[in-house]
Amino acid sequence: MADLDEKKRGQLVDEIPVPVAAVPPPTRRSPWRRVVLRFVVFAVFFTWLFRAAHRWSNAGAERELEVHGGKWMSRVFGDEVWRRHHHKVLHGKKAEKLFLSVPNAESALAASRQYATKPHMAGSPGDFETALDFLHLLQTELGVGASGTLPLYSAGTPESRNATLGIPSLKKPAAWIDTYYPIMNTPLDHSLEILDDDGNMVAKAELEEVADGTDPEAGKYFDAVTTWHGLSRGGSAKGKLVYANYGRKEDYDALIEQGVDLNGTIVITRYGGIFRGLKVKGAQERGAAACLIYSDPRDDGTVTVENGYAPYPYGPARNPNSVQRGSTQFLSIYPGDPTTPGYPSYENSTRTNGTNIPTIPSLPISWANAQFLLKEIQEGGLNRTISLVNNVDDKVMPIWNVLGVIPGHIKDEVVVVGNHRDAWVMGAVDPSSGTSSVHEVVRGLGALLRHRWTPLRTVVIASWDAEEYGLIGSTEWGEDFEDWINEHVVAYLNLDGSVSGSRFRAQATPSLAHFLRAAAEDVPHPTQPGKTLWDATKDNGVLTGDRIDAEVLSMFTEAEAELAVSGTGVGVLGSGSDYTVFVQRSGVASAQGSFGSTLQDPVYHYHSVFDSERWMEVYGDPGFFRHVAVAKFLGLETIRLADSIVLPINTTHHAVELERYLEKVESLAVTTSLNVDFSDLRHAIRQLQKASAQLDHEKIKAEHKLKKLLHKFARRHFVRRVLREKFCQLKRFFGRDCAPFRDGGSGMSAATVASADKTTFECSAMVSKGRNGNGLLPFQPHVGRAPAWAREQHEREVGEEAGALHKHKHKHDHDKHKDHKKRFPHKKFKKAVKHIREVNQKLKLFERGFIHEDGIKDREWYRNLDVAPGKWLGYGATTFPALTEAITIENNATLAEYEAERLQKLVEKLTHVIKA
């Protein structure tokens, strides 16, 4: 019983609840405190992140510009191509670096062997074959692709006209061939004989070059192209021989002063000093019946047989049988087709008789033949009669210019790069070394295109034809599209032969002199590590000798001294190559640079069959390193001209040079005892210098403003991207999804961009001069531009509809279009771009300012009153040509004052243009 009670007591105890102590109820945490806490954490995190991003933003902005800069530049200059690409766009130093890695000696050598191992005289089947070769190069490297139909257009047809006039509307690369139809000639038969008193032949010259298998191509083709003068007068003549040294004006004047009667004589002159056509012109004007021109070893410096050097092909001295072919057109009167001065040579063009070609026959002869003839007039010579025959076939001949286009973002600013392709025989130096270098430039540009590079400006690459006859291909194209060139072309870069010796030489309009030199200083020396291409301007050949002609040495030294006076080391362009029509007719800033011979270099057999591939590989440029250096130089110039925001045209240097030109004129006036007042002209030049200095400040300000905007936008873009990436990392840490940063640098919808870019483009177009009121390019109805006009009009209407559509969309609720937020400051960029375009327009017009529609007295085709080929030089430049020749040739104070006033008015007008 007791046990039972105890058991019940235990159960009762277990059932009694344990006493609970008094505990305060739990406190609930308020939601707003959690929000504040999170805000503080995020604020601290993002403050740190924002400050860190800003610390990195400058370097980051540079990286953003590297990645997106090309795309943004295309947008601000109104190009819509960028919208098709959301990848890195190559530009700037990286583009230059990639380009410079492409040209190489193996490829340049292969190109030289392709062009320089067969004859390709202008208008010949071989010439057309090289045109197709170059077209294929352009199609392959520029990504044009060969179509089913050969793009071969007859000049003057709608297809040809639209191909060039439509360049500003191209959206992808293009290439084609234009065929012009100039009057040229080919040789039929020729002879050169010595006659006795009865008229019987006592000796006959072997006029063809003699070659053997030592030089394979020379041995094969020594008689493929007869030795004759292009555009020479057909006919025959008999007369006594008279020696006229270089055939310069002063040489003929000296003969007249000595009482030598040139009427009915056959004049013999040596090559050098002036253009060969002017040697014939001088003889013709003094009554000579014919003219012979020979190559004299005295002009070869120290590399002569007399100094112990073997003649080519067994050594570096002149082959005594070599003959220099070449045109005898009167180049300083006008270049191009003699029968279509000032207008293009279409197949059905109206022809004139031509006033820039000789009326007496001529022949080029070798040193071997000249030695034999000169004995006739030396002391003790018999001075027998000379009989000359030069029969030629004058006819209309087709020539083929090949053109390729790389469209840029700025459609209406064009950089043209040109090299002629035709040769008198094979032309390993002239022009095939240049063609080989241009081949490498095209390859380099093709590599850039394959890496998604688009130039800021459009680039045109031209392979001109018939340069050797008298700059015909380039001149006819320039006359054909003169208005288009005046409106669009901002610069022309020329290359003739790229290598004939050891010294690098460069010429340019003064406004491009500093630009040219800077490019040469950025290219490595071809053979000397640690030096630059510009250092090669001091290089010399290594073939020395004790004997050298005093007159030749004096001429060489004088030319070098004149070059040094400029201060830049860059010469002035006169004529003699394809830049002529650009500089002299349209006033386009132009430049060229190449390796030429010194008095200690292996003898370059100019226009001879010995201008061959073997000579180039053995003596001219073993290893082809100079070919590559010139290619890099030309390509670098092209890229910088095409991609620079502000055109690298130095108007102030040019304006300063004008005063130096005037000082030369004043000195000439004193020498000739002419009393001419140049004070007004000097005052006008100094006002131009002041205006140009102001333009320099405007250039700097305009470019700085645009670059500052780009850098600011790039920095903001970088910060936004970094913040977005870090925020995404944080969200992913908490298991949240986050879309990657893919706004492409715009933050705007396609419609917004289309409208904004259209506005920017129209703003840019407004500052382009020379357009019609409706904004379309001027066209000529008779050549059938209707298809191009219709296409342009359609694109215009589509653009307006896109703008209207965008305005309509803005009537919607903007919350549904959050991507319409303006993250790209278009208004500021449009203003900056407009300023840039205005500045570039002034820079382009600077060279145009020296063009006078009335031209130069007695040779009105030449319109540039700043510089032109000398009337009796042909190649060499004469500064202030009309004014200078009024003093030196006319010796007329009244005419000099008239020319000074004409030049003064041009300078004053130009000052007003660049100050506007």
Is the bond preceding 455 in cis, omega lying within 30 degrees of 0?
no
Active site positions, annotated: 467
Q: Is the pLDDT of residue 906 over 80?
A: yes
Closest among 558, 399, 554 to 480, alpha carbons compared: 399
Q: Any idea which of 441-445, 509-513, 690-694, 761-765 has the lowest mean pLDDT? A: 761-765
pTM for this predicted structure: 0.85
Q: Is 261 helix (H, G, I), strand (E, B) or coil?
A: coil
What pLDDT sits at residue 812?
47
What's the burial of 388, exposed, middle or buried (CB within 10 Å: 0-12/13-18/19+)? buried
What's the burial of 413, exposed, middle or buried (CB within 10 Å: 0-12/13-18/19+)? buried
By residue count, the chain amounts to 916
Q: Is the pLDDT of residue 521 over 90?
A: yes
DSSP code of residue 333: T
Check if the beta carbon of residue 435 is closer than 8 Å to that of residue 115: yes
Q: pLDDT class for 807, splitting at 50, 70, 90?
A: very low
What pLDDT sits at residue 147?
76
Q: pLDDT class for 707, splitting at 50, 70, 90?
A: confident
- CA–CA separation, 453 vs 456, rounded Å? 9
What pLDDT sits at residue 116?
98
Q: How confident is the model over 711-730, as a mean pLDDT?
A: 70
What pLDDT sits at residue 28?
56
Give CA 913 to chain center in angstroms: 25
Q: Is the pLDDT of residue 84 over 90?
A: no
What pLDDT sits at residue 5?
55
Non-local CB neighbours of 792 within 8 Å, separated by 6+ positions: 169, 776, 777
Q: Any idea which of 176-180, 266-270, 790-794 has the lowest mean pLDDT? A: 790-794
For 34, 235, 721, 744, 767, the CA distances from 714, given in Å and listed in that order, are: 37, 73, 10, 12, 27
Q: Is the pLDDT of residue 724 over 80?
A: no
What pLDDT sits at residue 801?
38
Q: How confident is the model over 8-21, as a mean pLDDT?
A: 51
What pLDDT sits at residue 63?
54
Non-local CB neighbours of 904 within 8 Å, separated by 6+ positions: 680, 681, 684
- CA–CA separation, 499 vs 507, rounded Å? 15
DSSP structure string for 146-164 = --SS--EEETTSHHHHHHH
Non-local CB neighbours of 704 within 8 Å, separated by 6+ positions: none
- CA–CA separation, 341 vs 846, rounded Å? 26
Q: pLDDT class for 789, splitting at 50, 70, 90?
A: very low
Check if the beta carbon of residue 358 is closer than 8 Å to that of residue 233: yes
- CA–CA separation, 676 vs 664, rounded Å? 13
Question: pLDDT tens across 831-851, in order?
Answer: 999 999 999 999 999 999 999
- CA–CA separation, 72 vs 711, rounded Å? 11
Question: pLDDT tens across 106-151, in order?
Answer: 999 999 999 999 999 999 999 999 999 999 999 999 999 777 899 9
Question: pLDDT tens across 248-282, in order?
Answer: 999 999 999 999 999 999 999 999 999 999 999 99
Q: How confident is the model over 307-332, as a mean pLDDT?
A: 98
What pLDDT sits at residue 869?
96
DSSP structure string for 95-164 = HHHHHHTS--HHHHHHHHHHHTTS---TTSHHHHHHHHHHHHHHHHHTT----SS--EEETTSHHHHHHH
Check if the beta carbon of residue 702 is closer than 8 Å to that of residue 646: yes
What pLDDT sits at residue 62?
54
DSSP structure string for 744-763 = TTT-S-HHHHHHHHHHHHHH
What pLDDT sits at residue 189?
96
Q: pLDDT class for 823, splitting at 50, 70, 90?
A: low
Q: Average pLDDT of the chain?
A: 86
Q: pLDDT class for 711, splitting at 50, 70, 90?
A: confident
Q: Is the pLDDT of residue 511 over 60?
A: yes
What pLDDT sits at residue 854?
98
Non-local CB neighbours of 763 within 8 Å, separated by 6+ positions: 78, 830, 833, 834
Q: pLDDT class for 762, splitting at 50, 70, 90?
A: very low
Question: pLDDT tens across 101-116, in order?
Answer: 999 999 999 999 999 9
What pLDDT sits at residue 563?
84
What pLDDT sits at residue 821?
45
Give the residue carrying structure tokens 């295109």: 449
> What strand order describes the sheet that includes 410-420?
152-154, 174-180, 399-406, 457-464, 410-420, 489-495, 590-596, 503-508
Q: pLDDT class for 66, splitting at 50, 70, 90?
A: low
Angle at 573 (CA atoms; ends 570, 578), nearest 5 degrees = 125
Check if the beta carbon of residue 564 is closer than 8 Å to that of residue 319: no
- CA–CA separation, 805 vs 810, rounded Å? 9
Q: How confident is the model over 450-463, as a mean pLDDT?
A: 96
Check if the beta carbon of residue 406 is closer than 8 Å to that of residue 449: yes
DSSP structure string for 859-893 = BTT--BSSEEE-TTTSSSEEESHHHHHHHHTS--H
Q: How confident is the model over 776-802, as a mean pLDDT?
A: 38
What pLDDT sits at residue 67?
52
Q: Is the pLDDT of residue 856 over 90?
A: yes
Q: Is the pLDDT of residue 815 over 90?
A: no
Instruction: Count CA atoms within 13 Å of residue 408 on its CB side.
Output: 27
Domains of the chain: 93-182+398-644 (3.40.630.10), 187-393 (3.50.30.30)
